[in-house]
Amino acid sequence: MNNRTKGTKYEDMVVQFVLKKGYRIIERNFYSKAGEIDIIAKDGKYLVFIEVRSSEKSFVHPLESINKTKINRIIKSARFYLYTHNIKAQFIRFDVVGVIKGKEPILIKDAFQSVF
Amino acid sequence: MFSKILSAGIIGVDAYLVDVEVDSVPGIPGFSIVGLPEIAVKESKERVIAALKNLNLYPGPMKITVNLAPADIKKEGTSYDLPILLGVLVNSGIIENSSLLKTLVAGEVTLDGHIRSVKGVLSIGELVKKEEDIDTLIVPFENRMEAGVVEGIKVLPVNHIYELINHLNGTNPLKPYKISIEELYKKVNYSVDFRDVKGQESAKRALEIAAAGGHNMLMIGPPGSGKTMLAKRIPSILPDISIDEALETTRIYSIAGLLDDTNSFISIRPFRAPHHTISDAGLIGGGHIPHPGEVSLAHNGVLFLDELPEFKRNVLEVLRQPLEDGSIRISRAKISVRFPSRFMLVAAMNPCPCGYYGDPFHTCTCTPNQIYKYRAKISGPLMDRIDIHIEVPNVRYEELSDKRRGEYSSTIRERVNKAREIQHERFKRQGLNIFSNAQMGATQIEDFCSIEQEGKRLLKKAMEHFGFSARAYSKILKIARTIADLDEEESIKPHHLSEAIQYRSLDRKGGI
């Protein structure tokens, strides 16, 4: 298994995980020049952009693996998605799900916001 | 959703209206504050969000924009926390916009929803009083007394956000807070007394005259002679502070953030004694957004400069404007602010670098050049502003061990009060806006300090003998006027003049 396939395996896990939480999947692996978004879902009135963080090691917390650059890329991609899909006046949220090998995924809602 | 909450900012010693506009819309989540916020204001966002989350009032991620209007004046301080938080709550429907009509809000918010004190509440209260369309002021509980003394406004002190929400929703209305100035304006018991000082009767006399007439004073003496000890006791003999003066002083201290629950109202004359390493900005005020300096904190009181020659030359130079005008104007790129700074200057110094020039028991080890240089550190224009110079020699053993004691401060203060009263009457009768003899100009000296033949002869002799300048001449007349007032005499007599002459020791040829 290479990194790419490992990643997809974890993403599948997360999709199942958020479906159980009541999210509705809109799109997976949205790619754009600005960057990529792992999962786009709907949770009540929120359109949620979900970033999946996986780790083989057992002590790495998902949020710790995200830095400012990554956050900015995700937000940029989100803006691009909203623009190209002509979405306005929509409640938006950024969630992060961390998967550690052998453990239950951890969901962090509203994990980060834009700093403008 | 859009809401607007009224708040206030401070420029100089006055408050001005600030509209806190809060806009909450769906979109990429974020929280931004505009309107030239300084760092503490920018950090508001962290406090407000954390508090909302901890109180289960967080409306969920959304795009929040806060504008502090007018947007081109720099905003500082933490007082915008509470109005911002309330704006968010109005937008999420937790409280009604109508509950905050005609209401001004200020307060800092803690992470668990408590409301902390902020600066300048007295000035904010006075702003609310002035504004016709505002009648209610919501303030932190700790600031209630400053706001409470302002007449004609409704003051609602709050401790916690829940308390405020319950009030605004009508569930549990708060009781308006009121306090009269008389209650706060308590008679003070000073912990020090002139009686503590053994001997030094002539220095005490000079201080009494200085206090009565508001004259600036310089004490010159060897180390350990008691100059500092005397200076610390000056507040105990200063004339009683009037209510208007107390309000003025409290306003300045409120803006400087120096009030607290035990000291919510300044009802004694301030005594400030900055260390000689102070900078010019620390002394007269300044900073990015101008704040009051020591001269303003000494307004209506005493500024004591111990070891005068140790102060940096440029720092002493900036004293000129406040000593001349009774106020200080600080200009920045966009704004110019005026702080009041009318104080009595008291300074102390040694006669020479080693401290013992003129001392009968010690040998002075300085060269004449060293002495000259030391003295020259204090510029002419500054010396010009000092009316009284006295020597404070070392106290002899007999005086130190004498069981007999001098007068109590309260006795001296009674005389000072009487003399000050006479001065008030004198100037009020002519419609002049001055309150003490020290403030008299050339015209007033002519009007109020006329002397008879005998006095004129005495002065002429003294001027020729000691080589007094014209400047010294007018100062002698002013001091004599105060001495006569203390004597409750209408006209200045020769003995008043001869005593006044003693207080110009530095003018005499060759100094001490």
B54: closest CA among B193, B161, B188, B195? B161
In this prediction, residue B294 carries a pLDDT of 95
How far apart are alpha carbons B390 and B395 in whole angstroms? 15
Nearest CA in chain B to A110: B61
CA distance B339 to B281: 13
pLDDT higher than threshold 50 for residue B512:
no
Residue B105 CB-density burial (10 A; 0-12 exposed, 13-18 middle, 19+ buried): buried
Query: Are B139 and B169 spatial neighbours (Cβ–Cβ below 8 Å)?
Result: no
- Would you state the pLDDT for residue B360? 80
What pLDDT is attached to residue B185?
75
The C-alpha atoms of residue B88 and residue B222 are separated, in whole angstroms, by: 65
Task: Pick B26's closest partner by Cβ from A90, A110, A116.
Answer: A90
- CATH class, domain B2-179, is alpha beta
- CB atoms A116 and B30 under 8 Å: yes
Structure tokens at B77: 């301080």
Please indicate whether, in this complex, the C-beta atoms of A113 and B30 are within 8 angstroms of each other.
Answer: yes
Closest residue in chain B to residue A114, using alpha carbons only: B30
- Rounded CA-CA distance B509/B512 in Å is 8
Report the pLDDT averaged over residues B388-408. Answer: 80
Q: What is the pLDDT of residues B408-460, one digit of tens each?
A: 888 999 999 999 999 989 988 888 878 889 888 888 888 888 888 888 888 88
**What residue spans of B131-255 are helical by DSSP H?**
144-148, 161-168, 181-184, 201-213, 227-232, 243-255
pLDDT tens by residue, chain A, 116 residues: 456 666 677 888 899 999 999 999 999 999 988 888 999 999 999 999 999 988 776 666 767 778 889 999 999 999 999 999 999 999 999 999 988 877 788 899 999 999 86
What does the alpha-carbon distance between residue B370 and residue B90 come to, in Å, rounded to a whole number?
71
Mean pLDDT of all residues belonging to chain B: 90
Which has more confidence, B394 or B116? Answer: B116
Interface test with B, best of A79, A81, A91, A96 (most B CBs within 10 A): A91
| pLDDT at position B134 | 96
* Cα–Cα distance measured from residue B417 to residue B492, given in angstroms and rounded to the nearest whole number: 19
pLDDT in the model for residue B418: 94
Tell me, what's the pLDDT at A58?
A: 65
Confirm or reject contact between B27 and chain A (CB < 8 A). Answer: yes
State in words which class domain B440-512 has: mainly alpha
pLDDT value of residue A4:
63
CA distances from B446 to B306, B394, B429, B470, B501 (A): 34, 38, 16, 14, 18
Radius of gyration of chain A (CA): 14
The whole model's pTM is what? Answer: 0.86
Q: With beta carbons under 8 A apart, name residues in chain A contacting B26.
A: 89-92
Q: Which domains does chain A have, with CATH numbers?
A: 3-19+32-108 (3.40.1350.10)
Cβ of B275: how many Cβ atoms within 10 Å? 11
For domain B194-417, which architecture applies?
3-Layer(aba) Sandwich (3.40)
What residues have CB less than 8 Å from B366, skipping those under 6 apart?
Answer: B352, B353, B354, B357, B374
What residues of chain B, 54 to 83, have a C-beta less than 8 Å from chain A? Answer: 60-63
Name the pairing type of β-strands A35-43 and A24-32.
antiparallel
Cis ω before B70 (30° cut-off from 0): yes
The answer to whether B42 faces chain A, any CB pair under 8 Å, is no
Is A46 in contact with B29 (Cβ distance < 8 A)? no
Residue B45 has pLDDT above 70, yes or no: yes
More confident residue, A58 or B68: B68
CB B388 within 8 A of CB B503: yes
Question: Which residue in the block uniquely carries the two structure tokens 């110094």?
Answer: B349
- Tell me the pLDDT tens digit for each residue of B103-161: 999 999 999 999 999 999 999 999 999 999 999 999 999 999 999 999 999 999 999 99
Q: What angle do CA B93, B37, B294 make, to 5 degrees?
A: 125
With a pLDDT cut of 90, the percent of chain B lying above it is 55
Contact B148, B155 (CB under 8 A): yes
pLDDT for B459-491, tens place per residue? 888 888 887 878 788 889 999 999 999 999 988
**pLDDT value for A3:** 61
Q: Which of A12-16, B15-19, B277-281, B398-402 has the lowest mean pLDDT?
A: B398-402
Q: What is the pLDDT of residue A5?
A: 64
Q: How many CB pairs under 8 A join A and B?
A: 41
Any chain B CB within 8 A of the CB of A114?
A: yes
Q: What is the DSSP string of A40-98?
A: EEEETTEEEEEEEEEESSTT--GGGG--HHHHHHHHHHHHHHHHHTT--S-EEEEEEEE
Put simply, the chain A residues between 12 and 71 with a CB less than 8 A from any chain B CB are: 46
Domain with CATH 1.10.8 in chain B: 440-512
Look at residues B497, B473, B483 and name the one whose alpha carbon lies nearest to residue B422.
Answer: B483
pLDDT of residue A104: 84
| Contact with chain B for residue A92, Cβ under 8 A | yes
Domain with CATH 3.30.230.10 in chain B: 2-179
Instruction: Delimit the CATH 3.40.50.300 region(s) of chain B.
Output: 194-417
Is B29 in Cβ contact with A94 (below 8 Å)? Answer: yes
Chain-centre distance of CA B464, in angstroms? 41
A110–B29: do the CB atoms touch at under 8 Å?
Answer: yes
Mean pLDDT for the stretch of residues B272-298: 90
In order of B190, B218, B395, the CA distances from B193 in angstroms are 7, 20, 18
Q: Supply φ then ψ for residue B29, to 5 degrees.
A: -65, 140
Compute the distance between CA of residue B203 and CA of residue B503 in angstroms, rounded to an integer: 10
Dihedral, CA of residue B100, residue B102, residue B108 and residue B114, to nearest 10: -40
Distance from C-alpha of B104 to C-alpha of B136, rounded to nearest angstrom = 6
Say what the pLDDT of residue B452 is: 86
Q: How far is CA B30 from the centre of its chain?
A: 43
**Best CA proximity match to A75, nearest among A89, A92, A88, A98:** A92
Q: What is the mean pLDDT of residues B164-171?
A: 95
